[in-house]
Structure 1
Amino acid sequence: MVTPRRTRIEAVTEGASVTTLELFFDLVFVFALTRVTDWMAEDPSAEAVLRGVLILIVMWWSWVGYSWLGNVVKADEGLIRIGMFVAMAAVFVGAITIPEAFDDLPGGLSGPVVFAVAYFCVRLVHLAMFWISSRGDAQLRGQVLRFVPSVVLGTVLLLIASQTEGWVQTALWIAAVLGDYLGTALAGSAWRLNSAGHFAERHGLIIIVALGESIVSIGIGVAELPISWPIIIGSALGLAVAGAMWWAYFDVTALLTEHALAEATGERRIKLATGGYTFLHLPMVVGIILMSLGLKKALLYIGGGDGHSLADPIYGIPLAALYGGAVLYLFAHVGFKWYVVHTFSPVRVVVGVVLLAITPLVAHLPAMLTLTILAVVLGGLVGYETHHHRELRHRVRHGGELPA
């Protein structure tokens, strides 16, 4: 796929890797995830968390479409490069508007309207770039056309929601994200996936971005407090939790699933990419961000911020976010691995159930002990899996033959 130089479009090949422009594009999402976490942390109520999750889902659909686009044509060439920068600007405006995505602040433009229009611009640019990229490919162009209704439905519902408030507004947001999900699922599987390595790497990087937000949350939670031993220990425990999540994804599973995606062809490859990556990576990212909210609050308690003492427990929504976020991540990871490589991880399910069971109990313990228990449980999980699957791990990571 070669066009005149000023409008040059180059197809992605099987051995392609993520471009620097795509990495630059992801920096906007680092900011967006930080804004969502900070916004939820200001008033960690059930409504705020629900709305925060809805914002995360909308931002996910803003990002994931470009992961598909960058797998068809190179993101840093010709018109696609321009489109990427325009989309970045729209995403950035949306991220700035996150605190006003539901409730408009006094003065200035209407926050909910600006957020909805920014989202519409992101989706419109994505469709336009895919339309240009599908020139000469009737099957892909037909797929793009079938995808249009879900884009229109989602953006129109958000625009309508911007004129409402309360539970009606929240319900319209839920309808908008469901429309995106169902529209994508029903649009068909005639997309193109030119490079399994690029696609897997792209989604691995967004997991890194989310985990980076958990580390940022640890630092921000104690940024204005004087350094102390509890803060040092609590920060180390928070890093251990984030590190266990990294290990659970990247140590073996990321390699196995990428291999399975590369081995698949035709419609099966598209279904693995859509189900395993587009759909099942979203709850992983949501789980990490919820956990980030819990980590931020836990470190604030541990450091003695906002009038708390070291003996105070973390409870309510912050505790549910801390433990529930970790559980959601583990369950989504189990689903991802099962969907792509048909391997079930019962230990992760057991660990998730245990964390849910003990959540009401740890609500009465000091925040430091609550965080310690989470770090020990997750660390024990990766330690067990590393030992129990050591032979498979060695083959996967050190050049041996991968399982069929």
Structure 2
Amino acid sequence: MPVRMRARRRDEEHRTATPLELFFDLCFVVAIAQAGRQLAHALAEGDPGHGLFGYLMLFFAIWWAWMNFSWFASAYDTDDPLYRVVTLVQMAGVLILAAGVPRAFTGSDFTLVWFGFLVMRLAMVAQWLRAAHASRGAERRTALSYALGVTVCQVGWLGLLLLPQGDVPWVFLCVGALELAVPGLAERAWRTSWHAHHIAERYGLFTLIVLGETIAAATLAAQSALDEHDEPSSLLPLAGGGLLLVFAAYWIYFAVPVHRHLRSNRQAFLWGYGHYLVFGSAAAVGAGIEVVVEESSGRARLSAFGAAACVTVPYAVFLCTVWLIHSRHHKRGAAQQLVLPVSALLVLACTLAGRAAVPAAGLVAAAAVAAGVHLTSRQGAAPVE
């Protein structure tokens, strides 16, 4: 039988991610893989403008749907049969969205993407209405505000289907801004009881999934190149550099206990919204490595410099964003504060190395980790990268 959907306590002990949440995250891997694959194809074909815009827009849909569920679940997860069924419906929605990613990229046909998003949002509205039914006063108004906001935004996304193709960027910017405003507007009267340790764990686990997809994309690209050319020696430096980049990204992200920083809605929202760039840039690194592999095997329509930038630019964005929203709050002194920004600049400089850019950037990332560890041990600060 369904239970009353009461808010969970902020100080609840041993609050961790559930198997259902992990299953939910795994379904998003499919959508992330589709977006990354289309980005890599567009970049390799020498069409970065179309590829980047399509990637940023579709990754926003993926990330925002994941965000909506994760913050709601942190406050209201009842884990009863009805909650599980509605969550499974959301998972079906993201798979529909993933199936529509190629059409959205190549033909600007957003029908399947919109329908998959609709399935997820209807399930999300149902969750908020259930929470409103079980609450009173300001909490009830907040839940109803979320339900109304999500519904209005979903109607707004109809512009992708009904308006001319030239208006798609404006629809994305306007409705996307409205989506970002909904949580702040809804929680003016009452703040949902999200759990700082739980939400930090959820973001960390999703970061791991994105990094895993980056490794998978790079591995498949290398395997394809080997099948065609059978020259592993040319791919070894690239593989080594790619692994260093991903391993360093893991180390840098998980070096600090960020849940201690998430004390207010303002801090949490800025941190949570900033992960659009963290997740998006991490996944784009995998697409960039695919492009570098294709360029090294003569299958890409861009220069070695351009292919290198497909890796170094998103990795620099990753480093800067992690520092800005995540790591800097736990650093002591100018030396520690400068490690990631300086490393980002050095990674960008590696672009000039052309085909040697990925191994060079990997060495820079490894050096950043080593420098962070050394400064931490010397200054006796909390663990940082």
Q: Give TM-score scaled by structure 2 length.
A: 0.86
Q: Distance in 1 between matches of 2:261 and 2:67?
A: 20
**Once the two structures are superposed, what CA deviation does each residue of 1:75-131 show, in whole Å capped at 9, x if it has no partner?**
6323211110011011110111111225559xxxxx412311221221221122123
Matched, 1:298 2:285: no
Q: Distance in 1 between matches of 2:329 and 2:382?
A: 19
Residue 314 (structure 1) aligns with? 304
Alignment correspondent of 1:87: 90
What residue in structure 2 maps to residue 214 of structure 1? Answer: 214
Deviation at 1:166, TM superposition (A): 3.7
The alpha carbon displacement at 1:394 in A equals 7.6
Q: Which residue in the other structure is 2:348 paired with?
A: 356
Given residue 351 of structure 1, which amino acid in structure 2 is its aligned partner? S
Say if 2:110 is the partner of 1:112.
Answer: yes
Contact 1:8 1:77 in 2 (8 A): no
* Cα distance in 1 for residues equivalent to 2:99 and 2:72: 25
Deviation of 1:58 after TM superposition, in Å, equals 1.2
Cα–Cα, structure 1 residues 103 and 137, in superposed 2: closer, same or farther, change >3 Å? farther
Higher alpha-carbon deviation: 29-38 or 117-126: 117-126
**Structure 1 counterpart of 2:261, one-letter code:** A
State whether residues 157 and 173 of structure 1, in contact with CA within 8 Å, keep that contact through their aligned partners in structure 2: no
What are the within-5 Å matches in structure 2 for residues 315-334 of structure 1? 315-316=305-306, 318-334=307-323
C-alpha separation in 1, matches of 2:315 and 2:78:
33
The corresponding residue for 1:246 is 250
| Structure 1, unpaired ranges of 5+ | 106-110, 398-404
Separation in structure 2 between the aligned mates of residue 328 and residue 394 of structure 1, nearest angstrom: 25
Match of 2:237 among 215, 233, 240: 233
Q: Name the aligned partner's letter for residue 50 of structure 1.
A: F
Alignment of 1:243-282 (within 5 A): 243-251=247-255, 253=256, 255=257, 257-261=258-262, 264=263, 268=264, 270-276=265-271, 278-282=272-276
Which one-letter code corresponds to 1:379 in the other structure?
A
Change (3 A) 1:340 1:165: farther
Instruction: Provide TM-score, normalisation by structure 1.
Output: 0.82
Q: Which moved more, 1:338-347 or 1:48-57?
A: 338-347
SS at match of 2:17: coil
- The Cα of 1:137 is off from its aligned counterpart by 4.4
Residues 102 and 160 of structure 1: CA distance in aligned 2, closer, same or farther (over 3 Å): farther
Q: Which of 335, 346, 360 in structure 1 is aligned with 2:338?
A: 346
- How has the CA–CA distance of structure 1 residues 155 and 339 changed in structure 2, closer, same or farther, with 3 Å as cutoff? farther
Contact 2:128 2:147 in 1 (8 A): no
CA distance in 2, matches of 1:313, 1:80: 51
Q: Are 1:67 and 2:67 matched, yes or no?
A: no
SS of aligned partner of 1:192:
coil
2:278 corresponding residue in structure 1: 284
Q: For residue 332 of structure 1, what is the amino acid of its counterpart?
A: T
Q: Is the 8 A contact 1:21 1:75 kept in 2?
A: no
Say if 2:126 is the partner of 1:128: yes
Q: Contact 2:42–2:51 at 8 Å: present in 1 too?
A: yes
Deviation, structure 1 residue 62: 0.5
Choose between structure 1 and 2: higher helix proportion. 2
- Residue 366 of structure 2 corresponds to 379
Change (3 A) 1:327 1:137: farther
Tell me which amino acid in the other structure corresponds to 1:353.
L
TM superposition shift of 1:171: 2.4
- Indicate how the Cα distance of structure 1 residues 83 and 341 shifts in structure 2: closer, same or farther if over 3 A, else same: farther
Query: Contact between 1:351 and 1:377, CA under 8 Å: does it hold in 2?
Result: yes
Q: CA RMSD in A?
A: 2.7
**Aligned with 1:78 (options 69, 76, 81):** 81
CA displacement at 1:371 relative to structure 2 = 0.8
Q: Is the 8 A contact 2:213 2:286 kept in 1?
A: yes
Cα distance change, pair 300–192 in 1 and its aligned pair in 2 (3 A): same
Q: Deviations over 1:278-326 (max 9, x none)?
A: 2111110111122111111123334x25289xxx95233x433311111
* Change over 3 Å in CA distance of 1:240–1:396 after alignment to 2: closer
Q: Retained in 2: the 8 A contact 1:72–1:133?
A: no
What is the CA–CA distance in structure 2 between the aligned matches of 1:89 and 1:59, rounded to whole Å?
Answer: 13
Partner secondary structure for residue 143 of structure 1: helix
3-state SS of paired residue (1:81):
helix
Classify 1:215/1:37 alpha carbon distance in 2 versus 1 (closer, same or farther; 3 Å): same
Give the Cα separation in 2 of the matches to 1:176 and 1:380. 41
Q: Is 2:111–2:161's contact at 8 Å kept on the other side of the alignment?
A: yes
How far, CA to CA, are the matches of 1:212 and 1:38 in structure 2?
14
CA drift of 1:391 comes to 5.6
In the other structure, the counterpart of 1:401 is none
- 1:288 maps to amino acid: A
Judge which range, 285-294 or 141-150, deviates more: 141-150
**Residue 169 of structure 1 corresponds to which residue in structure 2?**
168
Q: Distance in 1 between matches of 2:380 and 2:201?
A: 19
Secondary structure of the residue aligned to 1:101 is helix
Structure-2 change in CA distance of 1:384 and 1:87 (3 Å): same
Per-residue CA deviation, residues 249-287 of structure 1 (Å, 9 max, x unaligned), is: 112x2x1x12333xx3xxx2x3322221x2111110111
Asked whether the equivalents of residues 9 and 79 of structure 1 are also in contact (C-alpha less than 8 Å), the reply is: no
Quote the residue 1:146 is aligned against: 145
Q: For residues 52-63 of structure 1, what are the structure 2 equivalents within 5 Å?
A: 52-63=55-66
